[in-house]
Amino acid sequence: MKSAPIKYHRATSVEEAVQLLSEYEPGEARVLAGGQNLVAMLNMRLWRLTALIDVNAIPGLSVIEPRGNDIVFGALTRHAMVEHSELVAKRLPLLSTMIRHVADRQVRNRGTLGGSLVHGDPSAEMPLGCLVLNARLHVHGPNGSREIAMEDFYDGPYAAAIEPDEMLTRIEIPPAPRHHAFMEVVRRHGDFCVLSVAVVGDQKDDGTWQNVRIGLGGLSETPVLAHALMEIAEGTTLSDEVIARTAAAVGSVIDPASDFRASAEYRAHLAPVYVERALKALRTSAPAVH
């Protein structure tokens, strides 16, 4: 199938894009970045829009750069740029690991970080990675710019908490914990995941772990930052007993659904298994403390 007839605008500034968005009724216009999800949904007529606002000609939105202690990504930063960035590999290794699980080479060459975050697929890697890394998102609208914490960015599945006349412009990620682990279950490499687990943390000289953050993908309507699990693991040595208790508590923070990839029951069964594996991988990623 092909998309229904649609108007096309090519904005050359953020202000022009916002103005164009504001000329349409809510839900009638969308920003076109990489289009890897949006165009497919239009072609299948799962979405029907009046207009697309192409933002690829806007300068300054395709960057990865340090800003103080933070790393700043423009919303048009391609996945391939993230994948090959030495700065990301050094300062945000979790993101560098996760990006290689995003779809395939063709999608990573064209898809954008901002597009993935706004699309808000609950099984996608980049929303989960940015959640675990405590990202801050900056959106621009008719009333200027505002900042949204990644943890507050979704109202539900595929529902970013931005207004119809706002667009995402940049993502800021603060310094990350030193150690990380990521695991996901997929039917085949590059497919949407059945579930995923991303964890980060810092190991102190006495062997205890601080700044533990545990994120779960594909197990609820949005990516989940599992505060209840983090509280169990924080300040411990991540012993086998602590890891087992943390994994056993996963049922309290997820609400899996059934789809053609897996049943809700299967996801619920796998979740504690992969939380345990991810935490053991995190523990192994740090040097042994004697």
* Residue 241 CB-density burial (10 A; 0-12 exposed, 13-18 middle, 19+ buried): exposed
Chain centroid offset of residue 152 CA = 13
The alpha carbons of the chain give a radius of gyration, in whole angstroms, of: 19
The whole-angstrom separation of Cα 2 and Cα 41 is 10
Q: What is the widest separation between alpha-carbon atoms in the chain?
A: 67
* N- to C-terminal Cα separation, the chain: 62
Q: Measuring CA to CA, which residue among 16, 25, 4, 104 is closest to residue 54?
A: 16
> Strand pairing of 7-10 and 209-217?
unpaired
Question: Which two structure tokens, joined as six digits, stand for 57?
Answer: 């000609």
DSSP state of 78: B
Per-residue pLDDT of the chain in tens (290 residues, 90 and over written 9):
677 789 999 999 999 999 999 999 998 999 999 988 888 888 888 778 999 999 999 999 999 999 999 999 999 999 999 999 999 999 999 999 999 999 988 989 999 999 999 999 999 999 999 999 999 999 999 999 999 999 999 999 999 999 999 999 999 999 999 999 999 999 888 788 999 999 999 999 999 999 999 999 999 999 999 999 999 999 999 999 999 999 999 999 999 999 999 999 999 999 999 999 999 999 999 876 64
Q: CB-side exposure of 114: number of CA atoms within 13 Å?
A: 28
Question: Which two structure tokens, joined as six digits, stand for 79?
Answer: 């996945």
| b (16+ CB within 10 A) / e for 34-70 | bbbbbeebbeeeebebebbbbbeebeebbebeeeeeb
DSSP conformation letters of 214-269: EEEESSSSS-EE-HHHHHHHTTS---HHHHHHHHHGGGGT------SS--HHHHHH
